[in-house]
Amino acid sequence: MATIGFIGLGVMGSRMVQRLLAAGHKVTGYNRTRAKAEDLITAGMGWAETPRAAAEAADMVLSIVSDTKALQQIAEGPDGVLAGLSAGKIYVDMSTVSPAAIRELAAKAAGLGAAMLDSPVSGSVATLEQGQLTMMTAGDPQAFKQVEPVLLDIGMKATHVGESGQAVSMKIAVNLNIAAQVLALSESVLLAEKAGIPRQTALDVLTNSVVASPLIKYKAPFLIEMPDQAWFTADMMHKDIGLALDLAEEVGANLPATQTSRAYFKRVQELGLGGKDFAVVIEAL
């Protein structure tokens, strides 16, 4: 069993820690707001006052936070993860952030004799709770072999995709597709509804048709009733679309559908709905 530091106990992070504790790992966690960690502490998770303390208490550190700025805040500075790393430790960030930021932090970790991997996840709250989450991981292959068993206690599959930053690049590529799928689903529902077909009937047809991807099947109910707690907010999706377009500019890729998606998720924000689950994009339409 591994000794693990875990930073970021939000919707996904808290459930990852639950799975790690259930698998028998010793976990020391940190979150900006301790109140979100109380149930995990009761379940056996140790508490760290800083990301550095979580890293110092562990052989392996995992983090999942909202964006690049949040990652830099937990990783750098006198109380950051990097300050708690030492030779032989492994730091795995599971956030969806800038590939350039990942490469910069990985270089700093290497300078300390540690290894940093990027290992973002694909899936939802439901797939995580069912143990069906998948992960794409990049960085040192030997470090990946060491952390793979731990990742498989969180989800069902971890794939090594290449050099530092390439896993998060792959995740950004996945998420632009998700944005386009949900926008297309919303357009289908809107057209059917305007033609006089009840929304529930339209969704029943769509989720049993050729377009019914796993994503469409678990997002469709949100077009009838939004969850009390967003699984993945429209603000987060807008952020990921921005990352995709930034990366596209860097590597010379043309992403017209992603440009369109950005316009509609921007409209969601203008309507004051950015904190809702990203299926709320139908309201922008």
10 and 151 co-located in one domain: yes
The SS3 of residue 45 is: coil
Residue partners of 141: CB distance under 8 A and separation at least 6: 160
Asked whether residue 214 falls in the same domain as residue 236, the answer is yes
Q: CA quadruple 9, 29, 173, 135: dihedral positive or negative?
A: negative
173 falls in which pLDDT band (50, 70, 90)? very high
Q: Which domain holds residue 178?
A: 169-284
Q: What is the per-residue pLDDT across 79-128, written as a single tens digit (0 to 9) for each?
A: 999 999 999 999 999 999 999 999 999 999 999 999 999 999 998 888 89
Instruction: Report the pLDDT value the prediction gives residue 79, as an integer from 0 to 100.
Output: 98
**CA–CA separation, 122 and 119 (whole Å):** 10
Mean pLDDT calculated for residue range 5-14: 96
pLDDT of residue 124: 87
Answer yes or no: do 192 and 212 share one domain.
yes
Residue type, 224: I
Position 159 scores a pLDDT of 97
**Judgement on whether residues 14 and 101 belong to the same structural domain of the protein:** yes
Residue 262 corresponds to which tokens in the numbers above?
Answer: 């950005």
Q: What is the pLDDT of residues 134-156, one digit of tens each?
A: 999 999 999 999 999 999 999 99
Q: How far is CA 179 from CA 33, 50, 147, 175, in A?
A: 29, 34, 30, 6
- Is residue 29 within 8 Å of 5, Cβ to Cβ? yes
Q: What pLDDT, on the 0 to 100 scale, is given for residue 252?
A: 97
Q: What are the structure tokens assigned to 234, written together?
A: 């429209």
**Separation CA 258–CA 32 (nearest Å):** 32
Distance CA 175, CA 63 (A): 19
- Structural domain ending residue among the three candidates 131, 163, 195: 163
CATH classification of the domain holding 191: 1.10.1040.10
- Rounded to an integer, what is the distance from CA 4 to the centroid of its chain? 19
Q: What pLDDT score was predicted for residue 126?
A: 86
The reported pTM is 0.92
* Tens of pLDDT, residues 224-256: 999 988 989 999 999 999 999 999 999 999 999
